[in-house]
Amino acid sequence: MYLNIQKEIGSSLIKQIYEQVRSMIIKGELKAHERLSSTREMAINLNVSRNTVITAYEMLIAEGYIKSVPGSGIFISQGAEFAKPPERIIDYSVTAFSAKELSEDIIGFHSGTPALDLFPRNKWSRIAGQVIKEAPDSAFGYDYPQGRPELRNTLAAYLKKTRGINICPEQIIVTTGAKQGLSLVAKLLLQPGSEALIEDPSNENVKKIFLFHTDRITPIEADSEGIRPELFPQDRSPALVFVTPSHQFPLGGVLSIQRRLDLIRYAGKTGCYIVEDDYDSEFRYRGLPISSLQELDNERVIYIGTFSKTLFPSVRLGYIVLPDSLVEQCSELKRLMDHHTNSLNQLTLMRFIENGELERHIRRMKKIYRKRRNSLIECINEYFPGKVRIMGETAGMHIVAEFTDVEFSPKLMKSIEGVGLKIFPVEEHAVIKGKHRHQIILGYAHLNNTDIRNGILRLKEVLD
């Protein structure tokens, strides 16, 4: 029996013996009941220590490839031969497959992407480093599914201060972003046959997430003031109503107090829950953020928040605020989904809020985003005078532009992509098609003035 053993530094002799013998057995080159060299013989043949051979043999015995018959020797076991498919040849060089950065020549008006280059990395880095060094051991182990108590305390106080939301820390579940928040809420409230009312248009992912649990999704038209409660079905008992009351996505409307109260009365009457997705209300350009629906009803409203916009998307931190009665069940769902959210990230966020850095960053970005928004609106008015109605500009990180005489057909979208421009038709987010063909979403928060101007210029070139 021939083994090819390399005695270079860093190559394990045990591993080489184990793998070569194992390979010969699997391929059938060593047959069942055949006798294997004794550990002594093998050690002498290979000029390695006998312990090395013993360890390799023990591994082969543990996995059933060979067996030791006392007083008789070591033999190949039965049933270990296996015709494997030929191995694939794989290139593991790290450089060969590196992250594709967005081509610099494409201007993308994505909604919901903050200005990544303006995030205070050094501050975040310093705090994250401190947290890793100073956190209690418990923050390294399996942690509370609901999230670190310290962070939930801080969040409750922060929400009270900035949004007028009056809740106990025990009502909060820390999530890995709003999408996980929505996944959890869907799992909590929807079963096959449940009815979900959703704003139409609304983020297409909402519908996709709900469809995992039920196919009874009823679109309710949203206009420039948000969802229209007078269209709610009066004869049925839906499980939930999904809304974005502070800044309707994508149309941008603010839900009026009258509609809010209608919504809450409807929830009270039918026993359904209201799912309030508050994705970007921090960035309101006149006055303060709109107050939340949650504040009006602590029993029927589930509030979903995120730090993807106020910090950065890849941080994957968000939260849900739940009525007391749903907290325990939702925590268990979170536990079974991913146990809990990374604790060190949670504690970094906590300190970032406690130090005032989060509010400082939001204030700074609000000024910058306002300028970018103004610049975008100016460009549109300059290049398309009198032909575009702007919607949803009071808050957030995108506007909707409605063109009087342009229909954003798939064919037109292709031409637009052809000039290195990415814009997003509202129609893509609509459940009932055909009502939003003249409208596009233009996210601006991550674009500087030059990009904004060049982007709108490219659009003009295509439309002319």
Query: Stretches 88-96, 235-243, 404-412, 432-440: which one binds its own copies (CB under 8 A)?
Result: 88-96
Q: How far is the CB of 209 from its own copies (least distance, A)?
A: 5
Residue 216 near residue 429 (C-beta atoms within 8 A): no
Give the residue, chosen from 340, 373, 436, 453, that forms a contact with its own copies under the rule CB under 8 A: 340
Both tokens of 152, joined, read 């939930």
Q: How far is the CB of 395 from its own copies (least distance, A)?
A: 9
Is residue 288 a contact residue for its own copies (CB under 8 A)? yes
Residue 148 near residue 172 (C-beta atoms within 8 A): no
Q: How far is the CB of 457 from its own copies (least distance, A)?
A: 24
Both tokens of 312, joined, read 């950065």
Site residues for its own copies, 18-57, by CB under 8 A, read: 18-19, 22, 25-26, 55-56
Is residue 9 a contact residue for its own copies (CB under 8 A)? no
The alpha carbon torsion through 27, 29, 32, 33 (nearest 10 deg) reads -160
Query: Stretches 39-47, 144-152, 233-241, 358-366: which one binds its own copies (CB under 8 A)?
Result: 144-152
Query: Stretches 179-187, 365-373, 383-391, 452-460: which one binds its own copies (CB under 8 A)?
Result: 179-187
Give the residue, chosen from 122, 191, 234, 325, that forms a contact with its own copies under the rule CB under 8 A: 122
Query: Stretches 1-9, 151-159, 399-407, 451-459: which one binds its own copies (CB under 8 A)?
Result: 151-159
Residue placing its CB nearer to its own copies in the complex, 109 or 124: 124
Give the residue, chosen from 5, 38, 74, 164, that forms a contact with its own copies under the rule CB under 8 A: 164
Q: From the CB of residue 366, how many other CB atoms can be counted at a distance below 10 Å?
A: 15
Is residue 310 a contact residue for its own copies (CB under 8 A)? no
Residue 271 near residue 249 (C-beta atoms within 8 A): no
Site residues for its own copies, 372-411, by CB under 8 A, read: 394
Q: Which of 112, 173, 153 is nearest to 350 (CA)?
A: 153
Is residue 3 a contact residue for its own copies (CB under 8 A)? no
Query: Stretches 291-299, 365-373, 405-413, 415-423: which one binds its own copies (CB under 8 A)?
Result: 291-299
Q: How far is the CB of 121 from its own copies (least distance, A)?
A: 6
Is residue 74 a contact residue for its own copies (CB under 8 A)? no
Is residue 140 a contact residue for its own copies (CB under 8 A)? yes
Is residue 77 a contact residue for its own copies (CB under 8 A)? yes
Give the residue, chosen from 33, 286, 411, 414, that forms a contact with its own copies under the rule CB under 8 A: 286
Query: Stretches 250-258, 370-378, 382-390, 405-413: which one binds its own copies (CB under 8 A)?
Result: 250-258
Q: How far is the CB of 81 from its own copies (least distance, A)?
A: 8
CA atoms within 13 A on the CB side of 56: 25
